[in-house]
Amino acid sequence: MPRRIIVELAERVRRLAPPAPGELAALAERSARGRRELLRLDAEDLRLAPPPLSSLGTGGEGEVARWLAARLDIAADSLGEILLLRGPIPPHHLLALAFVNPGDEVLVPDPAPPVFRTAALLADATPAPWPREGHATGPPGAQDLAGAPARATSRGARIRFLAPCAPPTGQPEPPADLDVAVNAGLAQSRILAADLSALLLDLGGPAAGTRGETGSPPAITHLFHHPRALDVGVGIVTLDALFGAGNAPFALLFGNRDLVLGVRRLTEAMGMPFGAPAARAVAPTLAALDRALDAARANLRARRDVLVDGLQRLGFRATSPTAGLALWVAAPRGYRGLPFARMLLRRAGILVRPGTDFGESGEHFVAFSLAPPPTVLFRALGRLEELAPRKLRLRRQLVRARRRPPAAPA
């Protein structure tokens, strides 16, 4: 008989964690076949149809720069070089492939979306988890959601990924922390890559183009508010949260000229489409994005406030996120994130994402998505209220919450 070759996954691929545990997926499938409707609070995007962007040409760079500056509150001269990427490979992966050698270290925020860790592993580098400022690493109750310091700076890292408003707190990075990161990057020749995608869904400020008006909240602080950002860093913007991974009309990379051109050289070698759309093609696309973003922000603010208020009244510890789709909730005493998510699925028919999907530091948390419509969120809160007194040991918190006057809906 002919011999069969032995096929074995590369070590870097074996180290990639699946985005959702197989056990939860199997439980969700069984729940969908049962009598109780499954309430999915695990969505990562708003499932919108992406606007078309087909033709490439010249003349669209200025349109893109103006849109990017208005959406992210960046001075136009602080954007640097701009590269529009089209294709299924995330800019994070391209950046790591362009500048990281096998064995290098890449600092990734933990917890955070898995794309940072994946970028390091696919470049055959070592992802070094970087605990978020203000993240409690102990069991729930040992600390609040704020107060745990990050570990000391690693000196061997080639890239450090930054993610403002990342979990678990969903709050922006303090300017002092950004200053430390920039100075360390300059001193150690380290690239700072700031994923600013979540800031397109800024849940606190006014509509785009109205920054700075009287009474409006301050802009969310990020890397490109630092005066030396172009010396050391690049910004990444994807539209996955609106349209889903791989369905965005384009992704944006901007910042330090040498870094952006290095990624461009890689995309040319890989045969990926890149460039600036013609002005006549990009203008209607950006207008469609503006309409989608403004509508999404208004809806998400209302959903966030309803969900945070309801969870806090039930005794859960939840912090209102400043941007993005994920609302992180600390698991009750006696639970870790994955067992808690498993119990919610079995007992209440509610599917959430365990915090370990976002890194080891998310072990004691689960993530609720703000993407489902308000009717689904209200039904989920109703099921949690039924479950809380008898299963989650939240009876005292629930009794106290019921004594408070009800809040007006957002």
- Domains located in the chain, CATH noted: 15-47+298-390 (3.90.1150.10), 61-289 (3.40.640.10)
pLDDT at 403: 45
Tokens coding 104: 């290098």
> What is each CA distance from 270 to 12, 95, 97, 262, 339, in whole angstroms?
21, 13, 11, 13, 42
pLDDT at 24: 79
d(CA 48, CA 241): 9
Q: Side chain identity at 23, as an amino acid letter?
A: E
d(CA 213, CA 234): 28
**Quick one: average pLDDT of 152-156?**
54
Q: pTM for the full model? A: 0.85
Share of the chain above pLDDT 70, in %: 79
Over 80: is that where the pLDDT of 218 sits?
Answer: no
pLDDT band at 274 (very low <50, low <70, confident <90, very high): low
Over 70: is that where the pLDDT of 205 sits?
Answer: no
Query: Which H or E run contains 346?
Result: helix 337-348
**Quick one: average pLDDT of 142-157?**
47
> What is each CA distance from 282 to 72, 129, 169, 231, in whole angstroms?
18, 38, 35, 29
Say whether the peptide bond before residue 111 is cis (omega within 30 degrees of 0). yes
Tokens coding 304: 């966030």
* CA distance between the termini of the chain: 70
Query: Phi/psi at 191 (nearest 5 deg)?
Result: -80, 130
Average pLDDT over the chain reads: 81
pLDDT band at 398 (very low <50, low <70, confident <90, very high): very low
The tens digit of pLDDT for each residue in 280-312 reads 677 888 888 899 999 999 899 999 999 999 999
CB environment 38-58: b (16+ within 10 A), e (fewer): bbbbbbbbbebebbebeebee
Share of the chain above pLDDT 90, in %: 44
pLDDT band at 76 (very low <50, low <70, confident <90, very high): confident
Residue 254 CB partners (closer than 8 Å, separation 6+): 68, 79, 80, 81, 82, 83, 234, 235, 237, 260
The tens digit of pLDDT for each residue in 4-25 reads 888 888 888 888 876 666 677 7
Over 60: is that where the pLDDT of 66 sits?
Answer: yes
The tens digit of pLDDT for each residue in 93-137 reads 999 999 999 999 999 999 988 999 999 999 999 999 887 654 444
Count of C-beta atoms within a 10 Å radius of residue 1: 3
* pLDDT greater at residue 52 or residue 277: 52
Tokens coding 64: 């893109």
Q: Which of helix, strand or coil describes residue 328?
A: strand
CA 302 to chain centre: 19
pLDDT at 147: 37
pLDDT band at 143 (very low <50, low <70, confident <90, very high): very low
Q: Where are the beta strands (DSSP E) in 154-308?
A: 157-162, 191-195, 233-237, 251-255
Sign of the CA dihedral with 193 first, then 198, 202, and 203 last: negative
